[in-house]
């Protein structure tokens, strides 16, 4: 299945707040999924969908990340969240250089972003500690980033990132700590969902 291109607020009302998907806040963030008892399968599925729609990944990409996390050292759920958080599109969103993760993906696809001095046009590029993220030295690129920095609310920057708004430069200090993940989710249910599928 390809990337979801349908109505976003429908998904937000169903799954709850997804800050990476849109910066608008719907008036009624009430869960519309019914008042009956949820099955265990449905709970796991909703957690998986929440993760998928927040980061804007396809089903195939998410399955690939789960498999990589399963082979890595450490708790699979935490490693999965770290892999998703260290994607270039998510790092740009967390730095405030883009209003949403889809907006960050578009910046990367249109070749406005450099990582360590080289243009990167792959939104799923996995950033590593000490990577420097800068904006292409063109007026149009800088205007796009400045608009995002001006419009983004002055929130707390995660401790694994450093931003220099004057030079349009971000630095990845370390791998993200699980306390700074921008989504309220039970990642173990996502891992359980995929372990029962295979």
Residue of 81 and 26 predicted with greater confidence: 81
Both 167 and 191 in a single domain? no
Distances (CA, A) of 126 to 69, 82, 120, 166: 14, 10, 11, 25
Sign of CA dihedral 7, 12, 152, 127: negative
Flag whether the pTM goes above 0.85. Answer: no
For 132-146, letters b (16+ CB in 10 Å) and e give ebbbbeeeebeebbe
**Whether residue 104 is found in the same domain as residue 119:** yes
How many angstroms separate the CA atoms of 175 and 102, rounded?
22
Encoded tokens for 50: 């929440």
> What tokens appear for 22 in the block?
């849109």
Please tell me which residue, 171 or 26, carries the higher pLDDT value.
Answer: 171
Residue that wins the pLDDT comparison between 35 and 90: 90
Mean pLDDT, residues 148-158 taken together: 76
- What mean pLDDT do residues 166-194 have? 83
Residue 49 lies in a domain: yes
User: Are 193 and 134 in a shared domain?
Assistant: no
> Do 75 and 128 reside in the same domain of the chain?
no
Report residue 82: phi and psi, to 5°.
-65, -40
CB atoms within 10 A of CB 63: 15
Task: Report helix, strand or coil for 152.
Answer: coil
Instruction: Taking the CA atoms of 115, 117, 121 and 125 in sequence, report the sign of the dihedral they define.
Output: negative
Contacts of 58 (CB under 8 A, 6+ apart): 1, 2, 3, 52
Q: Long-range contacts: 112-116, Cβ < 8 Å, 24+?
A: 112/136, 112/138, 112/140, 112/141, 112/144, 112/145, 113/88, 115/88
Write the pLDDT tens digit of every residue in 41-94: 888 988 888 888 888 898 999 999 999 999 999 888 889 999 998 999 999 988
Q: Which domain holds residue 16?
A: 8-83+185-197
Tell me how many degrees the CA angle 184-38-47 measures, rounded to the nearest 5.
25
Q: Supply the pLDDT for residue 27.
A: 53
**Band of residue 21 on the pLDDT scale cut at 50, 70, 90:** low
Residues 138, 153 share a domain: yes
pLDDT at position 17 is 67
> pLDDT tens digits, residue range 104-117?
999 999 999 999 99
> What 8-state DSSP symbol labels residue 126?
B
Residue 23 has a pLDDT of 60
Instruction: Report CA torsion sign: 100, 103, 109, 113.
Output: negative
pLDDT at 129: 92
- pLDDT confidence of residue 1: 41
The share of the chain scoring above pLDDT 90, in percent, equals 29
Confidence at 28, pLDDT banded by 50, 70, 90:
very low
Decide if 1 is inside a domain: no
Q: Return the pLDDT at 87.
A: 92
Q: How many folded domains does the chain comprise? A: 2
- Supply φ then ψ for residue 145, to 5 degrees: -70, -40
| 126 domain-assigned | yes
């Amino acid at each position: 299945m390809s990337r979801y291109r349908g109505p976003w607020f429908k998904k937000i009302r169903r799954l709850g707040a997804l800050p990476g998907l849109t910066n608008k806040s719907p008036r009624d963030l009430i869960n519309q999924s019914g008042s009956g008892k949820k099955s265990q399968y449905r709970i796991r599925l909703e957690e998986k969908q929440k993760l998928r729609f927040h980061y804007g990944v396809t089903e195939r990409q998410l399955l690939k990340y789960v498999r990589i996390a399963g082979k890595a050292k450490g708790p699979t759920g935490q490693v999965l969240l770290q892999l998703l958080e260290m994607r270039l599109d998510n790092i740009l969103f967390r730095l405030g250089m883009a209003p949403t993760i889809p907006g960050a993906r578009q910046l990367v696809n249109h070749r406005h972003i450099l990582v360590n001095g080289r243009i990167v046009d792959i939104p799923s590029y996995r950033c590593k500690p000490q990577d420097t993220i800068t904006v292409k030295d063109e007026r149009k690129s800088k205007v796009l980033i400045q608009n995002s920095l001006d419009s983004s609310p002055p929130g707390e920057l995660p401790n694994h990132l450093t931003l220099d708004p004057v030079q349009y430069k971000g630095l990845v200090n370390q791998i993200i700590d699980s306390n700074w993940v921008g989504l309220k989710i039970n990642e173990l249910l996502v891992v359980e969902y995929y372990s029962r599928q295979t």
